């Protein structure tokens, strides 16, 4: 598990009730690596945590994992909108 993408997926699957619905997509640009996390809507509370503590911890762990490969890694969590699609959650 050397890739930050695999590491994030492993961490999130361990804390959610619907691990089969976890998806992580990777986008690379000149700023760094962006990992976009999608989970089942019922698991959003578990991924974000109280006052965003779990999400903040996940972001910190993934950044540290990215430092091992000299990459700047950021994490975005997709939030389901009212129409049933997904949109990015504010940080």
Query: Taking the model in full, what pTM does it have?
Result: 0.83
Total count of residues recorded for the chain:
91
Q: Report the domain count for the chain.
A: 1
CA distance 11 to 47: 10
List, in order, residues 6 or more apart from 83 with CB less than 8 Å away.
none
Beta bridge partners of 34: 27, 74
Per the domain annotation, does 91 fall within a domain? no
Helix 4-13 to helix 53-67 angle, to the nearest 10 degrees? 150
CATH number of the domain that residue 73 is part of: 3.30.300.20
Per the domain annotation, does 87 fall within a domain? no
pLDDT, tens digit only, all 91 positions of the chain: 468 999 999 999 999 999 999 999 999 988 899 999 999 999 999 999 999 999 999 999 999 999 888 889 999 999 876 555 555 554 5
CB-CB contact of 86 with 79 (8 Å): yes
Per the domain annotation, does 55 fall within a domain? yes
């Amino acid at each position: 598990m050397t890739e930050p993408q695999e590491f994030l997926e492993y961490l999130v699957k361990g804390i959610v009730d619907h691990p089969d619905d976890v998806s992580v997509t990777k986008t690379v640009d000149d700023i760094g690596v962006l990992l976009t996390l999608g989970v089942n809507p019922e698991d959003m509370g578990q991924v974000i945590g109280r006052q965003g503590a779990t999400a903040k911890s996940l972001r910190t762990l993934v950044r540290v994992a990215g430092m091992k490969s000299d990459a700047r890694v950021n994490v975005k969590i997709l939030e389901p909108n009212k129409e049933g699609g997904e949109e990015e959650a504010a940080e």
